[in-house]
Structure 1
Amino acid sequence: MRIAELSRATGVPAATIKYYVREGLMPSGVRTHRNQVDYSEEHMNRLRLIRALLDIGGLSVDAARDVLTVLDTGASTARESIGGVLYALGGRRSPVGRHEEEIATADVEALLAGRGWEIHEDSPARRTLIDVCAALRLLGHADVVAEMDDYATASQSIAAIDLGLVRAEATIERMAETAIVGTLLGDTLLSALRRLAQEHLSRQLLPDEAPVRRRPAE
Structure 2
Amino acid sequence: MRIGELSRRSGVPVPTIKYYVREGVLPAGTLTSPNQARYDDGHERRLRLIRALLDVGGLSLSAIAEVLEAVDDPGQPVHKVLGVAANNISPEPSERSGEAEGAEDAEGTGPGSAGAREEVAALLARRGWHVDADNPAARSLAGVLAALHRVGHGAFVELLDVYADAAEPVARADLDYVRKRVAREDLVESVVVGTVLGEAMFSALRRLAHVDASARAYEGGAEAGAGE
**Normalising to structure 2: TM-score of the pair?**
0.86
Task: Give the Cα separation in 1 of the matches to 2:89 and 2:73.
Answer: 16
Task: Give the Cα separation in 2 of the matches to 1:43 and 1:207.
Answer: 50
Q: Once the two structures are superposed, what CA deviation does each residue of 1:87-125 show, in whole Å capped at 9, x if it has no partner?
A: 344423333412210110111011111111121243110
Task: Give the Cα separation in 2 of the matches to 1:76 and 1:187.
Answer: 22
The one-letter amino acid paired with 2:101 is G
After TM superposition, give the deviation of residue 74 of structure 1 in Å: 2.5
Query: Is the contact made by 1:75 and 1:81 (CA closer than 8 Å) also made in structure 2?
Result: no
Which of the residues 104, 120, 143 maps onto 1:108? Answer: 120
Task: Give the Cα separation in 2 of the matches to 1:177 and 1:198.
Answer: 31
Unaligned runs of 5+ in 2: 106-111, 221-228
Give the total of aligned pairs: 208
After TM superposition, give the deviation of residue 207 of structure 1 in Å: 4.7
2:63 alignment partner in structure 1: 63
Which of the residues 198, 204, 211 maps onto 2:210? Answer: 198
1:215 alignment partner in structure 2: none
For residues 22-171 of structure 1, the aligned pairs below 5 Å read: 22-75=22-75, 77-94=77-94, 95=98, 96-98=100-102, 99=105, 100-171=112-183
Q: Percent identity?
A: 44
After TM superposition, give the deviation of residue 84 of structure 1 in Å: 3.7
Query: Is the contact made by 2:86 and 2:196 (CA closer than 8 Å) also made in structure 1?
Result: no
Task: Give the Cα separation in 1 of the matches to 2:46 and 2:31.
Answer: 18
Query: Is the contact made by 2:179 and 2:187 (CA closer than 8 Å) also made in structure 1?
Result: yes
After superposition, the CA RMSD in angstroms is 1.6
After TM superposition, give the deviation of residue 56 of structure 1 in Å: 1.0
Structure with the higher helix share, 1 or 2:
2
Unaligned runs of 5+ in 1: 209-218
**Normalising to structure 1: TM-score of the pair?**
0.89
Q: Once the two structures are superposed, what CA deviation does each residue of 1:148-176 show, in whole Å capped at 9, x if it has no partner?
A: 11101100111010111111110333222
SS of corresponding position for 1:206: helix
Q: Per the alignment, do residues 207 and 5 of structure 1 end up closer, same or farther by CA in structure 2, a change over 3 Å counting?
A: closer
